[in-house]
């Protein structure tokens, strides 16, 4: 981090690729973040108990073992946004990560300047007061704030890629949120979902 810049906070990182880790660390430090890399999830969780990072960047292996680290962080009331990365991404993996509390799911390889922007966006969003939308299909599990945001964009007719750009997320992450929304509503597809919603309430509520 340049000596004349005030620190924007610590970023905890687990990434097994040395070149990727070094490039990411350099980019984050240029943007006034302090980077702390960990060899394993246990040491990261232990550090998170002592001090709260601004964000966590967690690589998810193909065996999904990183999800246990994510769940442990949430279990320890670590409220920092967690961005999950994977070189073997799938919709199912993205859904699992989001359900476990991830703020974003990022497929590797990634461009370092893109991921710095996504980290900035996640930190900014988590700094805002959390509100859960309750104006939703009666009897269904309530939406999270991010799911509500995705729903608003779906109702406006935006595509996954357009929503991803608006929310500074990956298209894969948006697919995960959309799948979670459909599952909560018991809807077959987005058209079925919107038909049910607009049958319950005025579109202006969404």
Place of tokens 């006034």: 32
At 56 the pLDDT is: 95
Is pLDDT above 70 for 130? no
Higher pLDDT pick, 130 / 113? 113
Global confidence as pTM: 0.63
Q: What is the dihedral of CA 48, 52, 54, 60, to 10 degrees?
A: 20
At 5 the pLDDT is: 66
Tens of pLDDT, residue by residue over 4-36, are: 567 889 999 998 888 888 999 999 999 999 999
Integer Cα distance of 24 and 117 in angstroms: 12
Tell me what the mean pLDDT of segment 116-129 comes to: 80
57: which DSSP letter? E
Question: Largest alpha-carbon pair distance within the chain?
Answer: 58
> Are the CB atoms for 85 and 103 separated by under 8 Å?
no
- CB under 8 A, 24+ apart: contacts of 42-50: 44/12, 44/14, 44/69, 44/73, 45/69, 45/72, 45/73, 45/76, 45/78, 47/12, 48/12, 48/73, 48/76, 48/78, 48/80, 49/76, 49/78
Q: Walk me through the domains of the chain, giving residue ranges and CATH numbers.
A: 10-126 (3.40.50.2300), 145-205 (1.10.10.10)
Tens of pLDDT, residue by residue over 63-87, are: 667 788 988 888 877 878 999 998 8
Lowest mean pLDDT among 38-42, 60-64, 116-120: 60-64
Place of tokens 């990411």: 24
Tens of pLDDT, residue by residue over 92-108, are: 888 888 888 888 998 88
Token output for 186: 């018991």
At 131 the pLDDT is: 38
- 3-class DSSP state of 14: strand
């Amino acid at each position: 981090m340049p000596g004349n810049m005030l620190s924007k906070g610590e970023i905890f990182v687990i990434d097994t690729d040395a070149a990727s880790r070094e490039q990411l660390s350099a980019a984050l430090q240029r943007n006034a973040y302090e980077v702390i890399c960990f060899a394993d999830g246990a040491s990261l969780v232990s550090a998170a108990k002592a001090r709260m990072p601004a964000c966590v960047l967690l690589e998810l292996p193909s065996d999904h073992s990183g999800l246990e680290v994510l769940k442990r962080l949430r279990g320890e009331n670590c409220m920092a946004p967690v961005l999950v990365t994977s070189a073997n991404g799938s919709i199912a993996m993205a859904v699992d990560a989001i359900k476990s509390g991830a703020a974003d799911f990022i497929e590797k390889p990634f461009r370092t300047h893109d991921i710095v922007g996504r980290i900035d966006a996640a930190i900014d969003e988590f700094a805002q007061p959390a509100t859960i939308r309750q104006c939703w299909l009666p009897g269904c599990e309530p939406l999270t704030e991010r799911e509500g945001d995705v729903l608003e964009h779906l109702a406006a007719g935006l595509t996954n890629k357009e929503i991803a750009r608006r929310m500074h997320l990956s298209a894969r992450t948006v697919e995960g949120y959309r799948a979670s929304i459909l599952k909560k509503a018991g809807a077959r597809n987005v058209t079925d979902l919107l038909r049910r919603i607009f049958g319950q309430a005025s579109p202006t509520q969404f």
